[in-house]
Chain A
Amino acid sequence: MNSTVIKAEKLTKRYGDFVAANELTFDVRAGEIFGFLGANGAGKTTAMRMLCGLSVPSSGTASVAGYDVYKQTENIKRNIGYMSQKFSLYEDLTVMENIGFYAGIYGLTDKEIKEKSVQLVDQLGLHDSAKKLVRSLPLGWKQKLSFLVAIIHQPKIVFLDEPTSGVDPVARRQFWDLIYQAADTGITAFVTTHYMDESEYCHRVSIMVDGNIRALDSPANLKKHFSASSMDEVFQGLAREAKRKED
């Protein structure tokens, strides 16, 4: 876990007078599961959009998978995966069609697509549902499938934006098993979540308050530093300092 896959230095985004993200400086290592926490409106989405090459920073520098967030956004997009609760699979396509579609977009060859499809369906045990519309799958399965589709091109980093919202406790844990597996193969996971127990599953966690990174360390060190018994306590303590109203 020595090589750095995300490096941000004083990364800032302003909208007029409003500083949505203020001088963010941090790095994320290869194979790390990095938790990116913050209350609604703290600036997480803004930061994530800059790192994904979707929004141009106002100042500061950052590189993602070795590419510059100002000039090489297309390279960034090719080397990352992205999944969120809101944007994931096409409900009107079947499981196989979704896999084929995303694999095609990411430039896999027909032969690779075939192999990957079989492999994914095997991994999820979705044989009976491979030809069914994604709409008919339970939410837990959709999320697992959409995660595996997001990493179908073996990206260096996968961005997960509240990936587990609303699913049952068992499916939530199965989802984390997949994240661990992916991290084991060297894929870095950059995760936001509102479940504080999940922040304990991360190697390191950053907490944003009012556009600033207020804390960044392993869950164990954060708890020690803030004399808290749980990450929930750490989070509540920091997030309550927020002056900025949600908007």
Chain B
Amino acid sequence: MTSVELNNVTKKYDKEKVVAVDDVSLSVSKGELFGLIGPDGAGKSSIFRILTTLLLPDGGTATVEGYDVVKDYKTIRGNVGYMPGRFSLYQDLTVEENLSFFATVFGTSIEENYELIKDIYIQIEPFKKRRAGKLSGGMKQKLALSCALIHKPSILFLDEPTTGVDAVSRKEFWEMLKRLKQQGITIMVSTPYMDEATLCDRIALIQSGKILSVDTPSGIVKSYHGKLFAIKSDAMYKLMNDLRAFEHTRSCFAFGEYHHISFKERDKDYTEEVLNYLQAKGHTGVEIKSVTPAIEDCFIDMVEEKKSEA
């Protein structure tokens, strides 16, 4: 069963000069946790706004739970939960007032669907008399999620819920999503953090309005072609410059503790050549090893491939 379907959806801004969403097609199954992974300006928010019927596409069609985003917008609005990228609750209302407001708008009450939000809401309930504007970032996020859930939507759209949130809160947030998924809710979530991609069932990598790839996280990693190496030495900045100047290098970039390097002949192992080259350059403490690419490696690789095609 399909929950979301986009067919050749296009959205342009600024008198058609800016193509925010460029011929995007993808589908999300019922009960799936689907990630839109890409940087700022990739078109993620525009896609969310089209699917939640807040923005009309310029081309193509899209459906949510079988309803057309243009014709059936009223039905869709009653069935989806949406957490926009910017905090959009009423800052002057208290935590409890916000929640009760959203419940009332959707013709329900906090009591009726309390079970669904209990897990999340219980963490902010001690502060229910506080105004939303006075909450910390993590608490605002929990309130926004509670408000998006209070009418028991069949699908949740979460636009960058973890941007600017620390690593611990991010982890907690994804644990909450997993529990919601177990209750059968379809979740479409966007994030600029590539490490969160592995927590989704399937992901779409997106850049400049275009889909680079749609697959399971492990499928994306498998489709990386050629070898990738991790390398470090005692002088990491010099190492980067030296490796970029190495004749066989295709690309080299920082990756945490190591630099990741791929070669022009992508299946060849240049370990020996690299070691000799770096020794001649005076590097000490050199370590090189073959590694499995992460989603971020795949993303960078696809972006570079696109660039060289252009």
Residues of B at under 8 Å CB distance from A? Answer: 38-42, 135-139, 160, 163-171, 192-194, 207, 236-237, 240, 253-257, 296, 299-300, 303-304
Total CB contacts across the A-B interface at under 8 A: 98
Picked from A139, A196, A201, the residue with its CB within 8 Å of the CB of B40 is A139
Q: Min CB distance, B255 to chain A, in Å? A: 7
One of A138, A140, A180, A196 near B167 (C-beta < 8 A): A196
**A236/B168 in contact, CB under 8 A:** yes
CB <8 Å contact, A173 and B167: no
A101 on interface, CB distance cutoff 8 Å: no
Q: List residues of chain A with CB within 8 A of the CB of B304.
A: 170
Known contacts A40-B165, A41-B136, A169-B296; can you find 7 more A-B pairs with CB under 8 A? A39-B169, A165-B164, A168-B39, A168-B192, A194-B166, A231-B256, A239-B167
A165 touching B163, Cβ below 8 Å:
yes
A interface size (C-beta, 8 A): 41
Do A40 and B137 touch across chains, with their CB atoms under 8 A apart? yes
C-alpha spacing A196/B167, complex, angstroms = 8
Q: Are B166 and A167 in contact (CB under 8 A)?
A: no
Which residues of chain B come closer than 8 Å to A232, judged between CB atoms? Answer: 167
A60 to B90 Cα, complex, angstroms: 40
Contact yes or no, B256 A40, CB < 8 A: no
Chain A residue contacts of B136, Cβ below 8 A: 40-41, 245-247
CB distance from A47 to the nearest CB of B (A): 15
Q: Which residues of chain B are near A107, meaning CB under 8 Å?
A: none
A245 and B130 alpha carbons, distance in the complex (Å): 15
Complex Cα gap A38–B299 (Å) = 28
Query: A166 near B: Cβ within 8 Å?
Result: yes
A97 at the interface (CB under 8 A from B): no
Say whether B194 contacts A169, CB under 8 Å. Answer: yes
Identity of the chain A residue whose Cβ is nearest the Cβ of B236 in the assembled complex: A201
Chain A's closest residue to B163 (CB) is: A166
